Amino acid sequence: MTISDSSEAGSENNVSVGEEQSATKIAWSKLPIILAAIFSLSVIMGTGPGILLVNRPESILGIPLVYAWGILWYFVQVFVVIVASWTVWRSKKIAEDREARTPSGSEVEVSVQSEGESTR
């Protein structure tokens, strides 16, 4: 493999990484909208008109169906808040610090090569 071959292979990797990063950014940009929609649905279904769907004198594991229905939707709300706090509400500075601390593939290769050379 010549130097030109390796640079072409590297540029192909960079293109695929760039495309992957842009696809990831698109997916992450839709995440707040999806989480807001799920949270809104859980508010409506848990304590709003959705409760009329289960307003009958039945029980699940000894808990009245109406209470179990409300608790289920509260768990959905808690899940959405936890996911949003880990992803959407994360500070940009924290994200930049994490990216700065994460070594890229070329830095890892250089450090491995330098370690190998020092042991010879």
pLDDT value at residue 25: 64
31-77 residue pLDDT tens: 899 999 999 999 999 988 888 889 889 999 999 999 999 999 999 99
Question: For residue 12, what are its two tokens?
Answer: 């192909």
pTM for the whole structure = 0.56
Question: For residue 76, what are its two tokens?
Answer: 């959905």
Helices (H) and strands (E) in the chain, counts: 4, 2
Tokens 């209470």, located at residue: 67
CA 87 vs CA 21, 25, 77, 80: distances in Å: 16, 12, 15, 11
